């Protein structure tokens, strides 16, 4: 029996004959592609005809009274007021009808995945032009939005981290230095995710960097791909999925959706949401959630059996050290990358002091990294996912349509008027409603950018109607963007890590949904305490404790 057990423990091949400790076997391109479920296929089949039907109905057939009888004095947006005066009531109402029809059409196509996301964005851009909702100059100009440029420059900088190996070196070094046992390994990944989130604005890129590392560790502790699941494997993958997203929520530069939300809020307040504002508000909340997730995973959902707390492969961690040793000593390129990134982070964190935008700082960093002889990467080495940028451009164009028609505010006013809700509604009721809808909408929506585009303008409209500071409602709603870790279609990292076959949908839902509830409770507590101290929650308006 002992001989057989020793032989199994030293067997480094899984059932498919793959070396389970070879990190290259866990690269994205080597993961099996998950087949769509029958329900997903059905959604994709009905997506296009349903989108066309909805567009025709709301654009040409159904006349919604709140869009047809608009009082110019009730419009919140100055741009909408000006447009009303220029083209008249009837034309303005028609623009609102088309805006709603295009919005619903895009939502259906995005959710059903009947078309690639970027193609849906291209369709909605030209639809807004052809229906007269937006002039061509304004519609096409969204590709040059400053958030778009920040995304492009961030991908340049992230490519520098990958090309030099700095990100991988840090992750391996930290694990080898502090990952002495099962518990410390999980805590190490919390720290690693936080550090990488400060420098990498793409959650998918972070997942791609970390996946081979934590998959090898999972194999060392007995969780082998295609050979069955254990709680160590479930826990390490789902905790990393959680922390990849929560880490992005700490920083306004953590994802394009955060940046979009900050831009929408900044435009509404005629000001700016600073990097430091977002960081100070969210750092304690998200770090607290990471450690709560660690405790719940280890003690409640995926408690480790005694044998799962010990390496199942003798000398397994040595393979990680071999990977680290292959990197050799830090060369001058890596040193330059570290200096550039620390400088960028310092300038981002102090943006309120010097007033230079995050986009301008990223521009300078990207230019330096691309300079001949002085720089670190060449343009051909830069990995820019243009399909994601085109999708984002479509979302920003949708936002421009919202701004010029003022559809969110008009819809919010009509909603509350029809319900007979007066303008004296308590702040805490609005806060709980808006943040709750934003948070749990992640269960059904596929895109963080899309959720930001829908719910942040609604929060702005509600705040304006009820006379509360826009920041007090819109910013807490924006803070809910990154909670996309429950189901595979909720985010790209969720879809990617589901392919590891280390956990089931039930595992992900039980753990993920619980963490969403935790996030909701923490948001309420923060609104009454920390956010009030920071000036986000106005004094004397919450008062539910």
What per-residue confidence (pLDDT) applies to 520?
95
pLDDT(239) > 60:
yes
Q: Maximum Cα–Cα distance for the chain, whole Å?
A: 87
* Core vs surface per residue 135-164: b (16+ CB within 10 A) or e: eeebbeebbebebbbbbbbbbbbbbbbbbb
Three-state SS for 12?
coil
pTM of the model: 0.73
Report d(CA 398, CA 112) in Å as an integer. 18
Distances (CA, A) of 312 to 21, 307, 377: 12, 8, 40
- Per-residue pLDDT tens digits for 242-253: 999 999 999 888
Of the two residues 228 and 490, the one the predictor is more confident about is: 490
Closest CA to 298 of 207, 187, 195: 187
Spell out a b/e string for 317-348, using b for 16 or more CB atoms within 10 Å of the CB, else e. Answer: bebbeebbeebeeeeebbebbbebbeebbebb
Task: Measure the CA–CA gap between 192 and 68, rounded to whole angstroms.
Answer: 53
Query: H/E/C letters for each residue in 425-456?
Result: CCHHHHHHHHHHHHHHHHHCCCCHHHHHHHHH
**DSSP type of residue 310:** S
**At residue 290, what are phi and psi to the nearest 5 degrees?**
-60, -45
Q: What percent of the chain has pLDDT over 70?
A: 82
DSSP 326-372: HT-S--HHHHHHHHHHHHHHHHHHTHHHH---HHHHHHHHHHHHHST
Give the Å distances, CA to CA, from 203 to 200, 240, 340, 430, 527.
7, 11, 21, 30, 26
pLDDT value for 318:
73
| pLDDT, position 55 | 92
Confidence class for position 473, pLDDT limits 50, 70, 90 = very high
Q: How many CA atoms does the CB half-sphere of 534 hold within 13 Å? A: 20
pLDDT in tens, 483-508: 988 877 777 788 778 877 788 888 88
For residues 271 and 274, give the distance between their C-alpha atoms in angstroms, rounded to a whole number: 9
Per-residue confidence at 312, pLDDT binned at 50, 70, 90? low
Mean pLDDT of the 215-221 span: 77
pLDDT tens across 413-462, in order?
777 777 666 667 788 888 998 999 899 988 877 678 778 878 888 888 88
What are 7's two structure tokens?
């032989």
Least confident residue range of 83-97, 167-181, 301-315, 389-403: 83-97
Residue corresponding to tokens 């200096």: 339
Task: Note the Cα 263 to chain centre separation in Å.
Answer: 15
Judge whether 107 and 320 are in contact, CB under 8 Å.
no
The predicted model gives 388-392 an average pLDDT of 75
pLDDT tens-digit profile of 340-349? 888 888 888 7
Q: Of 276-290, 360-374, 409-423, 530-544, which range is least confident?
A: 409-423
Do 474 and 515 contact (CB within 8 A), yes or no?
Answer: no
> Which residue's entry shows tokens 């879809």?
495
HSE-CB for 72 with a 13 A CA cutoff:
13
């Amino acid at each position: 029996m002992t001989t057989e057990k020793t032989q199994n423990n030293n067997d480094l091949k899984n059932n498919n004959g793959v070396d389970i400790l070879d990190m290259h076997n866990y690269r994205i391109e080597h993961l099996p592609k998950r087949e769509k479920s029958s329900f997903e296929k059905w959604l994709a089949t009905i997506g296009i005809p349903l989108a066309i039907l909805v567009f025709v109905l709301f654009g040409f057939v159904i006349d919604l009274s709140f869009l047809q009888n608009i009082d110019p004095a009730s419009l919140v947006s100055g741009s909408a007021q000006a447009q009303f005066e220029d083209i008249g009531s009837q034309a303005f109402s028609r623009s609102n009808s088309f805006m709603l029809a295009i919005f619903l059409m895009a939502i259906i196509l995005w959710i059903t995945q009947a078309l690639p996301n970027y193609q849906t964005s291209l369709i909605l851009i030209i639809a807004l032009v052809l229906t007269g909702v937006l002039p061509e100059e304004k519609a096409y100009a969204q590709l040059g939005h400053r958030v778009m440029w920040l995304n492009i420059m961030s991908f340049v900088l992230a490519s520098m981290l990958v090309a030099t190996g700095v990100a991988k070196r840090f992750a391996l070094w930290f694990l080898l230095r502090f990952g002495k046992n099962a518990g410390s390994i999980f805590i190490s990944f919390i720290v690693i995710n936080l550090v990488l989130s400060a420098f990498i604005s793409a959650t998918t890129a972070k997942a791609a960097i970390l996946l081979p590392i934590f998959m090898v560790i999972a194999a060392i502790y007995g969780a082998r791909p295609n050979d069955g699941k254990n709680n160590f494997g479930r826990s390490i993958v789902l905790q990393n999925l959680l922390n990849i997203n929560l880490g992005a929520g700490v920083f306004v530069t953590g994802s394009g959706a955060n940046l979009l939300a900050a831009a929408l809020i900044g435009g509404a307040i005629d000001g700016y949401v600073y990097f430091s504002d977002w960081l100070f508000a969210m750092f304690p909340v998200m770090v607290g959630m990471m450690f709560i997730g660690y405790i719940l995973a280890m003690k409640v959902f995926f408690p480790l059996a005694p044998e799962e707390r010990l390496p199942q492969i003798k000398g397994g961690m040595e393979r990680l050290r071999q990977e680290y040793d292959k990197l050799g000593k830090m060369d001058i390129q890596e040193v330059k990358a570290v200096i550039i990134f620390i400088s960028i982070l310092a300038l981002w964190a102090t943006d309120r002091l010097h007033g230079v935008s995050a986009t301008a700082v990223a521009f300078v960093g990207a230019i330096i990294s691309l300079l001949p002889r002085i720089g670190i990467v060449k343009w051909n080495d830069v990995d820019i996912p243009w399909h994601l940028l085109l999708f984002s451009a479509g979302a920003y164009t949708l936002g421009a349509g919202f701004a010029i028609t003022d559809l969110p505010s008009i819809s919010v006013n009509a909603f509350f008027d029809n319900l007979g809700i007066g303008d004296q509604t308590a702040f805490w009721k609005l806060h709980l409603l808006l943040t709750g809808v934003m948070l749990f909408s992640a269960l059904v929506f596929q895109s963080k950018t899309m959720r930001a585009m829908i719910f942040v303008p609604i929060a702005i409209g509600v705040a304006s109607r009820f006379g509360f500071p826009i920041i007090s409602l819109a910013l807490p709603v924006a803070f809910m963007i990154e909670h996309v870790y429950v189901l595979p279609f909720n985010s790209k990292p969720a879809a990617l890590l589901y392919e590891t076959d280390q956990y089931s949908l039930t595992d992900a839902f039980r753990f993920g949904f619980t963490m969403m509830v935790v996030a909701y409770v923490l948001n309420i507590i923060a609104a009454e305490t920390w956010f009030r101290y920071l000036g986000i929650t106005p004094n004397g308006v919450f008062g539910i404790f």
